[in-house]
Structure 1
Amino acid sequence: MPIDAAKALAAEPRIGEITWDSKDVQLYHLGIGAGANPDKSSPATDPDELRYTLESRLHVLPSFATVAGAGKPGVTGGLSMPGIDVDLARVLHGGQSLTIHRPLPVQGTATATGRIAAVYDKGKAAVLVMRTDVADADGPLWTNDAQIFVRGEGGWGGDRGPSTRLEPPSGSPDRVVERPVREDQALLYRLSGDWNPLHADPEFAKVAGFERPILHGLCTYGMTLKAVVDTQLGGDVTRVRAYATRFAGVVYPGETLRIRMWQQGDGGIRVTVSAVERDDAPVLADTVVQHS
């Protein structure tokens, strides 16, 4: 069996140093659409976007944690852990959760500790939970959990794992915004460290079962968090405490995201994301942003 759950869980964590600077942060922000002016009648850059794009005003959107240090050890690194030997064309990013321990600095050097935290048997697929804890000299910075589906690798009788499905939000959303995805956005986003050819190579995309290259799920993840911060949190990136989602469908470059938001009474914002051009096809589900 290509996945040996016991061996993967018992493997020593991978520990390495990661570094990033303002240029990495700016590139990430551009990759998730920062800098665009929603007022199409004006050629000037939206002043509110300068907090994402101008080094003298730069704030770090917390989802940058998914690519800091080029995303190491990241999904690709996790798939090379002992006990795991899978075909990249069968791999799908199923979900992502992020806990922020304190605001991310514009530049830094930190230690990233990556390990397989869980392996679940979903019958037709295996799910790997890849956990990365990052800390610098001042203490913990963030914890990332990536849930990775490996199609065709389930069925060995292992633990199915917990259900992450939430009841759909009730009532009308408090806010609905639309965000366009540029045709070249996947090509730009991949420069932050996710080089999976699924997002660039048409032939590889066809082998993986898609009509053409798809947008990175983590790009949609970042675009969504930016929309929430900009419209519900007054543009204050430091208010984000945690952010979790389930990837419910794909996005193709050139489409438009429809982002619906419901403010909850417990310091959380429920979010759903769909693709406008495909009759509101679900893209992100079970999405919650916890904030102060």
Structure 2
Amino acid sequence: MINGDSLLAWPFETKTQSYTRRDTMLYALSLGFGADPVDPWQLNYVLEDRLRVFPTQALVLAHPGPWTADPATGVDRTRVVHGEQCLTLHRPLPPDGTVRSRNRVTAVLDKGAGKGAAIQTERELHDAATGELLATIGGTTFCRGDGGFEAAGPARNRASQVVRPDAPARPDRPHDIEGELPTFSHSALLYRLNGDYNSIHSHPDSARAAGFERPISHGLLSFGLAARILEVAYAPLSLASIRARFAAPMFPGETLCLEMWRGPDNTVWFRGLCKERGKEVLSQGHARLRTSTDQ
């Protein structure tokens, strides 16, 4: 059984990671950049003589790893899913360098017995050489087998947690525009080389044991594709922040279709659908865009 106060005080280590220009190009290739080998915008992310870092690469750098697998957390690891992802960009990432971060649990929410629990986390990604804050990364882990811990355990200090607010409600009107990007049959096998080697993305037996007919795509792959679609749809604006919930997985080879609603102050709501199955895979999506002169 999990203990909320214990998780809020979880002793994460500072993570430091060096990455190369090759890693940056690999990340872009894993999002499908270069599929059109004469598109100048795509080539900016896969060629070393003009290399840029796509913003969502921050998500795979100095990651704390599968920390809920530690038995001391009390989490039933077999029933854990990635629930939500948030990313705020403060500075462009350099094409290569060293970064450091330290994860922290900000809230532990009991949904009730049989309904699971949610663990909200945050980590700040810094340039190790300059100390500059590059990105703030928030995530939610949904622990499907761990609800009801508050009723079963001792009272805890709720004041010690900071609950992340929900994204603002989407406008009640048809979407303004839509865009799409395909994935490839080997997309998950390529994306895993960014550091997430969970076998449900690569091994058919593991995927079937988890209830899937075949290996599934990484949620962060769908998240990165959504960011790509947003940057194309609203160019020359670029991402300042993006968040979404993972409603359902995609399978490699399927196409992500993004429906988008423009809001005030360069904000955008979105939701992602698997084009082939009509299934919502990203929900409660919200992003903020900025010009190159914005800080």
TM-score (norm 2): 0.87
Cα pair 2:184 2:253 within 8 Å, conserved: yes
Query: In structure 2, what is the Cα distance between the partners aligned to 1:89 and 1:205?
Result: 12
How far off is 1:166 after superposition? 4.6
* Secondary structure of 1:29 counterpart: helix
Query: In structure 2, what is the Cα distance between the partners aligned to 1:187 and 1:291?
Result: 31
Aligned residues: 277
How far off is 1:87 after superposition? 4.3
Point out the more displaced range, 5-14 or 210-219.
5-14
How far off is 1:192 after superposition? 0.3
Q: Residue type matched to 1:26 in 2? A: M
Aligned to 2:166: 164
How far off is 1:215 after superposition? 0.5
Aligned to 1:121: 110
Cα pair 2:30 2:190 within 8 Å, conserved: yes
Q: Does 1:61 align with 2:54?
A: yes
How far off is 1:157 after superposition? 2.9
How far off is 1:89 after superposition? 3.0
How far off is 1:19 after superposition? 1.4
Matches within 5 A, 1:146-157: 146-157=139-150
* Secondary structure of 1:65 counterpart: helix
Identity of aligned residues (%): 36
Aligned to 2:216: 214
Cα pair 2:167 2:286 within 8 Å, conserved: no
Question: Post-superposition, which runs of at least 4 consecutive aligned residues in structure 1 deviate over 6 A?
Answer: none
Q: Residue type matched to 1:265 in 2? A: P
Q: Does 1:84 align with 2:73?
A: yes
* Secondary structure of 1:79 counterpart: helix
Matches within 5 A, 1:91-240: 91-123=80-112, 124-136=115-127, 137-157=130-150, 164=166, 166-234=168-236, 239-240=238-239
Aligned to 2:268: 269
Q: Residue type matched to 1:150 in 2? A: C
Q: Residue type matched to 1:142 in 2? A: A
How far off is 1:83 after superposition? 4.2
Query: In structure 1, what is the Cα distance between the partners aligned to 2:59 and 2:99?
Result: 14
* Secondary structure of 2:57 counterpart: helix
Q: CA RMSD in A?
A: 2.1
Query: In structure 1, what is the Cα distance between the partners aligned to 2:251 and 2:6?
Result: 36
Q: Residue type matched to 1:67 in 2? A: V
Query: In structure 1, what is the Cα distance between the partners aligned to 2:116 and 2:135?
Result: 28
Matches within 5 A, 1:252-263: 252-263=251-262
How far off is 1:138 after superposition? 3.9
How far off is 1:48 after superposition? 2.1
How far off is 1:45 after superposition? 3.1
How far off is 1:173 after superposition? 2.7
Query: In structure 2, what is the Cα distance between the partners aligned to 1:213 and 1:86?
Result: 24
Query: In structure 1, what is the Cα distance between the partners aligned to 2:13 and 2:251?
Result: 33
Query: In structure 1, what is the Cα distance between the partners aligned to 2:193 and 2:259?
Result: 28
* Secondary structure of 2:107 counterpart: strand
Q: Residue type matched to 1:109 in 2? A: T
How far off is 1:243 after superposition? 0.9
Structure 2, unpaired ranges of 5+: 152-157, 291-295
* Secondary structure of 1:28 counterpart: helix
Q: Does 1:50 align with 2:43?
A: yes
Query: In structure 2, what is the Cα distance between the partners aligned to 1:165 and 1:152?
Result: 25
Cα pair 2:61 2:99 within 8 Å, conserved: no
Query: In structure 2, what is the Cα distance between the partners aligned to 1:6 and 1:110?
Result: 29
- State the Cα deviation string for residues 214-263 of structure 1 (Å, max 9, x = none): 110000000110111122123x6xx3221111111111111111111222
- State the Cα deviation string for residues 59-99 of structure 1 (Å, max 9, x = none): 11111011124xx214x1x3256841434431111000011
